Each structure stands twice: as C-alpha cells, then as structure tokens.
Amino acid sequence: MKLDKQSYQRLLEQKSPPSPLPLDCLKAFLFGGAICTVGEAVSNFWQWRGLETTDAAAATSITMVFLGALLTCLHLYEKLAKHAGAGTIVPITGFANSIVSPAMEFKSEGLVLGVGAKLFVIAGPVLAYGISASVIYGLVLMLLGGGGGA
C-alpha cells in the first residue's frame, strides 16, 4: 500500500487514545482548588497573627512558594502533578516548582553554567512575557491618565 500523509493522519488519530479531558479537568479543578484552599488557610493564619490584608497576601505568596519548593525538593510535587495537571501548574506553587526543578536538575553542570544559566529555562517565558505585559499595561494606564501615580 502506498501511504499518503492525509490517510495516515486519519488512521493514527483513530489509533491514538486521546487524553481523558473531562477527568483531567475535574482533577485539575479539585487539586487546584485544594491548593487555593490551603492558601486561604495560610492567609487567615497570617491575618490571625496580626498582619494587614495586603501584608498577609504577600506573606501567603511567600509561604506557598516555600511549600511548592519544599515539595519539589522532596520529589513529591511531580507525583502530585501527575494527577493534578494544570491544577498544580497554575497556582504559585507551580511557579516555584518550575524554578526549583531545573535548579536541582542542572546542579551537575555547576553553579554558573548549570544552576545559574538553566534556572529560568521553564519559567523564563512566563517572566519575559508577564513582565512585558505589565510594562505595556502600565504605559497604557499612564497615557490614559488613570495611573493615579506621579
């Protein structure tokens, strides 16, 4: 049989099992929700300890990043993420995981060319475009005169 790309593409779509999307979404919702609930509890804890709401929010971010990094170091975060998918990627703990995991992985290439150079290999695009977006947003806000700043 002479194979052409179109008919092979149709065949392989038939034969390749798709990701179980509804189940993946449900698990992402439950795991992601659970992480956010923990975050809420941490936030309440800091407020109970006497921090103002804005300070408590910063302290909560710091705590969650620490927890994400700790679970990554203990090789527990990837086990959780296997089931949680986007539920562990989207919260700030996922951001910690995306920076700590390359730091651990590329330690064998040294502190400069390994850890230093590869630290942002996953989070880099998020930082680059996230910061760019906030700069553009800030400029727009300033030009429209809605900034309220200087």
Partner 1 sequence: MIEHIGQRTLYLTGRPYLLSHASAVGKKEGEGPLGAYFDFVTEDDRMKQKSWELAESALQKTAIHLAIQKAGLHKGDLDVILAGDLLNQCTGSFLASVDSDTPYLGQYGACSTMAQGLALGGCLVEGGAARRLLAAASSHFCSAERQYRFPLAYGGQRTPTAQWTATAAGAAVLGAHGTGRIRLTHVLFGKMVELGVKDANNMGAAMAPAAYDTISALLSDLGAQPTDFDCIVTGDLGHVGADLLLTLLRTDGIDLSPVYSDCGSLLFGDEQDAHAGGSGCGCSAAVLCGPLLRDMQAGKIRRLVFAGTGAMMSPTSVQQGQPIAGICHAVVIERSDA
CA distances in angstroms from 96 to 52, 72, 118, listed in the order given: 25, 8, 14
With CB under 8 A as the contact rule, which of the stretches 12-20, 35-43, 46-54, 130-138 interacts with partner 1?
Answer: 12-20
Burial of residue 112 (number of CB atoms within 10 Å: 0-12, 13-18, 19+): exposed
Round to whole Å and give the CA distance between 10 and 80: 34
32 binds partner 1 (CB under 8 A): no
The answer to whether residue 94 forms part of the interface with partner 1 (CB under 8 A) is yes
What is the CB neighbour count within 10 angstroms for residue 60? 22
Q: How far is the CB of 114 from partner 1 (least distance, A)?
A: 10
Which position among 46, 60, 77, 95 is part of the footprint of partner 1 (CB under 8 A)?
A: 77
Of 26, 41, 62, 104, the residue at the interface with partner 1 (CB under 8 A) is: 104
d(CA 78, CA 136): 34
Shortest Cβ distance from residue 133 to partner 1 (Å)?
23
Residues 6+ apart with CB under 8 A from 84: 27, 28, 31, 32
Q: How far is the CB of 59 from partner 1 (least distance, A)?
A: 24
Number of residues in contact with partner 1 under rule CB under 8 A = 38
Of 26, 37, 52, 75, the one binding partner 1 by CB under 8 A: 75
Torsion angle in degrees (nearest 10) through CA of 123, 115, 63, 72 = 90
Residues that bind partner 1 (CB under 8 A): 1, 3-5, 8-9, 11-12, 15-20, 24, 72-73, 75, 77-78, 80-82, 84-85, 88-89, 94, 97-98, 100-102, 104-106, 108, 122
